């Protein structure tokens, strides 16, 4: 029976509002239009203009290379095909009977196709290698969260939820893609430092003594130390270090306030509290959301950055519900997967 098991790594990332592929196609189309128009209208009679005409012809490899780098082999071949549709009639009709010129120009067209094949193949390999590295990196992050989840159950689901929530809120704040990547990773790994907190404190059912709280409060620094050892996670380590700071300076471990707290940590603080409120209330989801909104608004300027709270309040309830459902679906499919994979 086919198993529906959504890839967990897809929950670490977020569909950013980026329109990059469209922008890139527009760029390729613009270059093609300019080249074709300039090539078509540049006169061939006078010697100087003929040089320009010839130079323009040599530039037809440029959109092919761009298509290869941005989209891979098949799109590069598509662009080469498009160029051929323009180029072949140009050779046959405009240079009728001039066989040497026909061969010369067909040779140039062949170079365009060769460029498409070579650049497309290499770019495709490069893309695959980068994807493999990214997947391995995400696998390492998930493994770190799973290690903590093995000790403190449900940590992984909470981490996945706050990671998705953080990215949704960051999107509302129009944070750039790089900062969003750092935030997504930091949110996922925010409590990884709890690996260094002894079991008798981490799993204690009752309230903690002052000394035990002291140990517990070391987890942001431990988390930072763990993540600093991975060079790609250095920025995320700083967000993790600051994830329990409060906007008014009453948080820990350093008592940072306002803009001294990294923006990612200020965003994370809101969604962490939000997830705790909506996850621990036994009543209806809509009531939970309304309650959460009120409580977060009430802590604006004290626990939370007012600008982040304002953005949070602008996110419609449906978005939070949809993200929560996505994570719940992941949990259900993993439970089925675990049962089917466990020994009889």
CA gap 7, 9 in Å, rounded: 5
Counting residues that bind Fe ion (by CB under 5 A) gives: 1
Candidates 103-111, 187-195, 198-206, 210-218; binding stretch for Fe ion (CB under 5 A): 187-195
- The Cα–Cα gap between 266 and 307 comes to 10
Cβ neighbours around 9 below 10 Å, total: 15
**Span from 21-29, 189-197, 285-293, 302-310 in contact with Fe ion (CB under 5 A):** 189-197
Instruction: Please tell me whether residue 245 binds Fe ion under the rule CB under 5 A.
Output: no
Binding mask of the shown chain, residues 137 to 176, with x at each position contacting Fe ion by CB under 5 A: ----------------------------------------
Q: Least CB distance from residue 226 to Fe ion, whole Å?
A: 13
Using CB under 5 A, which of 123, 162, 191, 270 touches Fe ion?
A: 191
Binding segment for Fe ion among 124-132, 145-153, 191-199, 249-257 (CB under 5 A)?
191-199
Nearer to Fe ion among residue 28 and residue 227 (C-beta): 227
Measured from the Cβ of residue 119, the count of other Cβ atoms closer than 10 Å reads: 20
Phi, psi (deg, nearest 5) at residue 43? -65, 150
Question: Is the CB of 268 or the CB of 312 nearer to Fe ion?
Answer: 268
Nearer to Fe ion, 191 or 238 (CB): 191
Judged by CB under 5 A, does residue 275 bind Fe ion? no
Return residues touching Fe ion (CB under 5 A): 191
């Amino acid at each position: 029976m086919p198993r529906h098991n959504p890839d967990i790594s897809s929950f670490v990332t977020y569909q950013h509002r980026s329109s990059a592929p469209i922008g890139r196609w527009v760029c390729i189309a613009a270059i093609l239009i300019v080249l074709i128009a300039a090539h078509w209208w540049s006169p061939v009679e006078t010697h100087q203009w003929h040089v320009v005409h010839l130079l323009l012809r040599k530039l037809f490899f440029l959109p092919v290379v761009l298509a290869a780098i941005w989209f891979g082999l098949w799109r590069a071949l598509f662009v080469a095909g498009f160029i051929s549709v323009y180029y072949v009639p140009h050779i046959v009709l405009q240079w009728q009977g001039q066989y040497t010129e026909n061969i010369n120009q067909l040779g140039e067209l062949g170079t365009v196709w060769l460029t498409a094949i070579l650049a497309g193949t290499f770019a495709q390999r490069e893309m695959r290698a980068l994807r493999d590295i990214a997947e391995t990196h995400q696998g390492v992050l998930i493994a770190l969260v799973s290690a903590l989840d093995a000790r403190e159950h449900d940590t992984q689901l909470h981490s996945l939820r706050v990671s998705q929530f953080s990215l949704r809120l960051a999107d509302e704040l129009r944070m750039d893609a790089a900062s969003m990547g750092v935030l997504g990773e930091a949110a996922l790994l925010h409590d990884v430092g709890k690996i260094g907190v002894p079991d008798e404190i981490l799993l204690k059912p009752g309230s903690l003594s002052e000394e035990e709280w002291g140990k517990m409060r070391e987890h942001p620094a431990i988390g930072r130390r763990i993540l600093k050892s991975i060079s790609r996670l250095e920025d995320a380590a700083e967000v993790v270090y600051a994830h329990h700071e409060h906007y008014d300076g009453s948080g820990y471990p350093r008592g940072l306030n306002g803009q001294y707290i990294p923006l990612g940590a200020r965003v994370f603080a809101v969604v962490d509290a939000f997830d705790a409120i909506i996850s621990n209330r036994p009543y209806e989801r809509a009531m939970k959301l309304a309650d959460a909104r009120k409580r977060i608004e009430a802590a604006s300027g004290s626990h939370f950055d007012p600008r982040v709270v304002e953005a949070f309040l602008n996110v419609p309830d449906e978005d939070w519900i949809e993200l929560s459902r996505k994570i719940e679906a992941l949990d259900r499919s993993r439970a089925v997967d675990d049962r089917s994979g466990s020994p009889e």
